[in-house]
Amino acid sequence: MAETNVAIEQHLDTEAAEVTGADTHAAVEHHAEPMFLGFAPPVAVVSASMIVLLAILAWKGVPKLVAGGLDAKIAEIKAQLAEAKSLRAEAEALRKEYADKIANAEKDAAAMLEHARHEAQALIAKAEKDTAETIARREKMAQDKIAAAELAAVTDLRNQAATAATAAARRLIAANHSEAADRTLVDQAIAGI
């Protein structure tokens, strides 16, 4: 039986070698490739299907539709780019305008600050001048009041002195002169004329 088993194994090896076309001692084993409907390999079937699909797509005008869609998309992108360029130009113009406004505002602020300084200095000078004039006017008024008070005091003293002198003269005349003395004085005055 051992001989029968060895003979069967050799027969199987020989059949396998004939089917695969390989040596019984070869290490590489070949498999049978599947066939579509028994006559075409799968690569040919896929290639033919692709050719038929592409022909149907060309016949139905799909390339024109795709090209039209791509052209529309390109036109849309170009419009967006043009709009972006115009927006960028507007943004640049606005940036320049605001930069100019900021520069002008800074110049105006500096000019206003300088003007305020000049006005403050002018106000200080005017206040100092007005203060000096007010002080001088008040000094003059005080001096005038003092002079008027002095004049009033001197006039009052003169009046009082005149009144006192008149009263004293009356008393002296009344005490020293009599009627006869008055006649003598009158006669002397008349004779002197």
Number of domains in the chain: 2
Residue 192 lies in a domain: no
Reported as type and span, the H/E element at residue 171 is helix 62-176
Residue 187 lies in a domain: no
Q: Do residues 106 and 169 share a domain?
A: yes
144: confidence class by pLDDT, cuts 50, 70, 90: very high
78: confidence class by pLDDT, cuts 50, 70, 90: very high
Q: Do residues 61 and 43 share a domain?
A: yes
Residue 22 lies in a domain: yes
A 10 A CB-CB count for 78 gives 10
Q: Do residues 13 and 41 share a domain?
A: no
More confident residue, 57 or 127: 127
Instruction: Supply 57's token pair.
Output: 């797509």
Q: Bridge-partner residues for 36, per DSSP?
A: 40
Residue 167 lies in a domain: yes
The whole-angstrom separation of Cα 134 and Cα 24 is 139
pLDDT value of residue 85: 94
Q: Which domain holds residue 114?
A: 33-174
Q: Do residues 121 and 150 share a domain?
A: yes
Q: Do residues 26 and 48 share a domain?
A: no
pLDDT value of residue 24: 43
3-state secondary structure of 71: helix
pLDDT value of residue 12: 61
Residue 193 lies in a domain: no
Residue 39 lies in a domain: yes
Q: Do residues 18 and 93 share a domain?
A: no
Residue 68 has pLDDT above 70, yes or no: yes
The whole-angstrom separation of Cα 130 and Cα 124 is 10
Q: Do residues 161 and 73 share a domain?
A: yes
Average pLDDT for 48-58: 88
Q: Do residues 42 and 120 share a domain?
A: yes
Q: Do residues 62 and 14 share a domain?
A: no
Report pLDDT digits (tens) over 21-44.
544 444 556 667 777 777 778 888
More confident residue, 181 or 161: 161
Residue 153 has pLDDT above 80, yes or no: yes
More confident residue, 73 or 181: 73
Q: Do residues 100 and 152 share a domain?
A: yes
Residue 52 lies in a domain: yes
pLDDT value of residue 88: 95
Q: Do residues 45 and 7 share a domain?
A: no
Report pLDDT digits (tens) over 85-100.
999 999 999 999 999 9
pLDDT value of residue 14: 66
